[in-house]
């Protein structure tokens, strides 16, 4: 059986987590990388979702998707790596923090939504504008709501 609290305690006590908490700008730097990752993920994600919802039809959807996706994936990887590091610094309190757990649940939904979109519609993008699927558009709307909520929940960990 997986012992969550013990894992969190071990993570928080690790040399890596101690280095993150140490005096100096380490923690702040990782925080900035997390913010950079957020910008790189959310900006192309919003542009793509708005395009799926029917805005900016003069930009061909397949080309837009192809050009924006690398940025978005880079942002996501940066977010996951820096996020895991920030988590390790305070693993014990965070793993019991309701705002943090809400954020992780929302993140799970957002990732499932994004992956499902890719599986369902990536072949459909060239003729999206002729017959935009209602469910696909709902997913784009959900994507906007979910990613902004993940970002908001993340920021609110420090306040609520």
- Integer angstrom CA distances of residue 141 from 25, 38, 109, 126: 38, 18, 13, 20
Closest CB to another protein among 74 and 97?
97
CB of 160 to another protein, least distance (A): 6
Considering only residues 75 to 134 of the shown chain, the ones binding another protein according to CB under 8 A are 89
Buried b (16+ CB within 10 A) or exposed e, 6-30: eebeebbeeeebeebeeeeeebeeb
Closest CB to another protein among 33 and 74?
33
Tokens of 96: 């019991």
Binding mask 138-157 toward another protein (x if CB under 8 A, else -) reads ---x--xx--xx--x--xx-
Can residue 73 be called a binding residue for another protein (CB under 8 A)? no
Helix %, strand %, coil % of the chain (to 5): 80, 0, 20
CB of 2 to another protein, least distance (A): 28
**Nearest C-alpha neighbor of 82 from the set 41, 114, 46, 23:** 41
Chain centroid offset of residue 154 CA: 10
Among 11, 20, 72, 110, which residue sits at the site for another protein (rule: CB under 8 A)?
20
Among 50, 76, 92, 111, which residue sits at the site for another protein (rule: CB under 8 A)?
50
Dihedral, CA atoms, 151, 155, 157, 160, nearest 10 degrees? Answer: -110
CB of 148 to another protein, least distance (A): 6
Among 21, 66, 124, 127, which residue sits at the site for another protein (rule: CB under 8 A)?
21
Can residue 55 be called a binding residue for another protein (CB under 8 A)? yes
Tokens of 61: 């959807």
**Nearest C-alpha neighbor of 83 from the set 151, 144, 9:** 151
Among 28, 58, 130, 131, which residue sits at the site for another protein (rule: CB under 8 A)?
28
Chain positions contacting another protein, by CB under 8 A: 20-28, 31, 50, 53-55, 89, 137, 141, 144-145, 148-149, 152, 155-156, 158-160
């Amino acid at each position: 059986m997986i012992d969550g609290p013990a894992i969190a305690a071990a993570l928080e006590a690790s040399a890596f987590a101690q280095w993150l908490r140490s005096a100096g700008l380490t923690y702040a730097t990782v925080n900035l990388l997390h913010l950079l990752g957020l910008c790189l993920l959310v900006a192309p994600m919003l542009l793509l979702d708005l395009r799926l919802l029917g805005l900016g039809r003069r930009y061909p959807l397949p080309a837009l998707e192809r050009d924006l996706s690398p940025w978005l994936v880079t942002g996501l990887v940066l977010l996951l790596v820096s996020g895991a590091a920030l988590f390790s610094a305070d693993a014990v309190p965070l793993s019991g923090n309701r705002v943090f757990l809400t954020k992780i649940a929302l993140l799970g939904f957002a990732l499932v939504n994004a992956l499902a979109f890719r599986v369902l519609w990536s072949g459909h993008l060239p003729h999206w504008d002729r017959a935009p699927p209602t469910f696909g558009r709902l997913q784009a709307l959900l994507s906007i709501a979910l990613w902004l909520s993940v970002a908001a929940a993340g920021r609110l960990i420090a306040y609520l």
